[in-house]
Structure 1
Amino acid sequence: MGTIVAVARDDRHHFSKPVLSMIRLLAGLGIEGDAHCGETVKHRSRVAVDPTQPNLRQVHLIHAELFGELAAAGFTVRPGEMGENVTTRGIDLLGLPVGARLRLGDEAVVEITGLRNPCVQIQAFQPGLLKAVLGRAADGSLIRKAGVMAIVIAGGEVRRGDAIALTLPALPHRALERV
């Protein structure tokens, strides 16, 4: 079990999102009133390539534990500031497989689709932050730490303090890749 630390949304394509008391998830679409809500991709660079792509980035989740890691490196980051919709605590988001489902609160369910690929906007937000949210594994492969993306399976209201329950998909599990 995990907990929701904060929820955020923005109706425009700003880097940071204002923290709210509640967000409403809509099945198959995303977060009501958020710029990334919709069946097809809404991320501007991806729309430019192919606006008919399915939206696998309806909800962005970041683990609050990352903020502590960033603080130790000299950064100050608060919920919503890295563009996430849901800030969590107590769930190893980066260790989840594709297809893992999180029940957020009483009704909403999201399915993890992949890793957020941090972009240059993070660097503009705080110089050096892009490097801080990227790492290298022992084998030299890139580690993305800027959260995960999900689609909405079941809608509902989500609030700070709501519980998070995890359901893993059937084996074999598939590791997360950038989406």
Structure 2
Amino acid sequence: MGDSGRAGKVQEPRLVAVCVSARRTDPKSDIGEGTLYAGYGLLGDSHAGLNERQVSLVALESIERANREHGISARPGSFAENLTTQGLDLLTLRIGDRLRIGPALLEVVQIGKPPDTAHTYSFQGVSILPREGIFCRVLEGGRVARGDSIEVIRKGEV
């Protein structure tokens, strides 16, 4: 968990964006809320149903860092992630860890992505999914929305 910027106030991990695109080569747009289906992914997204990497996640903190370091103006969805998180260090997650977001349950199946993989999306020449993104499969579906809390369930706790 991270500091929210207010003294003594700890920010709980939460979902800040739900993003989809109609084509795999396009950036995603934040739709605010969406439906995750078990074994499929996010309804309306071009990556849903293709393989076990059904949903991608990037931290808002990673987007903000990329903006500062590269002088760009990326926003949630700019790096082709489905779910943008805040207050959760995604790089501490391991394969098999689970995330409860609202009613949905996701399982981490891949951390990062080879940068030369087909369809690795970059925003203004910057790509963060290869080193800071995670990929999950949907174990339990449900409606997720901006503001939903995120609970981490470590593999050994399942």
Structure-2-length-normalised TM-score: 0.81
**Letter of the 1:79 counterpart:** P
**Letter of the 2:27 counterpart:** S
Q: Check if 1:63 corresponds to 2:59.
A: yes
CA distance in 2: counterparts of 1:93 and 1:85, whole angstroms: 14
Inter-CA distance 161–149: structure 2 relative to 1 (3 Å threshold): same
Match of 2:92 among 95, 98, 108: 95
Deviations 1:24-66 (A, max 9, x none): 000111111211221xxx3xxxxxxxxxxxx121000000010
Aligned partners of 2:14 and 2:87 also within 8 Å: yes
Displacement of 1:122 in angstroms is 3.8
CA RMSD of aligned residues (A): 2.0
CA distance in 1: counterparts of 2:120 and 2:47, whole angstroms: 16
Inter-CA distance 167–121: structure 2 relative to 1 (3 Å threshold): closer
Match of 2:131 among 144, 157, 163: 144
Aligned partners of 1:15 and 1:82 also within 8 Å: no
The percent identity for this pair of structures is: 37
SS, match of residue 64 in structure 2: helix
Q: Check if 1:17 corresponds to 2:13.
A: no
Structure-1-length-normalised TM-score: 0.72
CA distance in 2: counterparts of 1:149 and 1:15, whole angstroms: 18
How many corresponding residue pairs? 142
Tell me the residue number matched to 2:142: 156
Match of 1:114 among 104, 110, 115: 110
**Letter of the 2:139 counterpart:** I
Displacement of 1:121 in angstroms is 5.1
For the pair shown, the structure with the greater C-alpha radius of gyration is 1
The 4+ residue runs of structure 1 with deviation greater than 2 A are: 118-123
CA distance in 1: counterparts of 2:22 and 2:74, whole angstroms: 21
